[in-house]
Copies of this chain bind each other. A is one copy, B any other.
């Protein structure tokens, strides 16, 4: 992701372009596996040692609010952040902290059709997210 692209994204959402916001957004694009706030802070401080913890949280909230990133809640006690904001599912490793995004249009379509037909009594569905728990298998 180029700096100019990040600038554009911020501007489009009506957020002022600051070095902190640039660095944080760049960090989330660079780090994989859904970084925690701590991961992001560590990453940024390498090149930007004076950034305050509270600033990172404030920026993350702002970015989340504007839909530039997504918060992902885990079973552990911290948020993780995802640069992919399109609706998608998650694969959770049952033995490690690894999380991967999972997209499957066919699945979405199947679920949509299923609930369209069957519905849920007294409930209007807005969104369906799958948490798929299992084990990642390293290929040989």
Interface contact A134-B127, CB-CB below 8 Å:
yes
Name the interface residues of A106-136: CB closer than 8 Å to any CB of B: 106-107, 110, 114, 118, 120, 122-136
Q: Is A57 an interface residue (CB 8 A)?
A: no
Residues from chain B with Cβ under 8 Å of A122 in the complex: 136-139
Q: Is A91 an interface residue (CB 8 A)?
A: yes
Known: A73-B75, A128-B132. A114 touches B123 (CB 8 A): no
Known: A73-B75, A128-B130, A130-B129. A123 touches B110 (CB 8 A): no
Q: Is A39 an interface residue (CB 8 A)?
A: no
Give chain A's interface residues, CB within 8 Å of chain B: 71, 73-75, 91, 94, 102, 106-107, 110, 114, 118, 120, 122-139
Other A-B pairs beyond A107-B114, A120-B132, A124-B135, 12, CB < 8 Å: A73-B73, A73-B75, A110-B114, A120-B134, A123-B132, A123-B136, A125-B132, A126-B133, A127-B133, A127-B134, A128-B133, A130-B131
Enumerate 8 A-B pairs (CB-CB under 8 Å) in ascending A order.
A71-B75, A73-B74, A91-B123, A123-B137, A127-B132, A128-B130, A128-B133, A130-B130
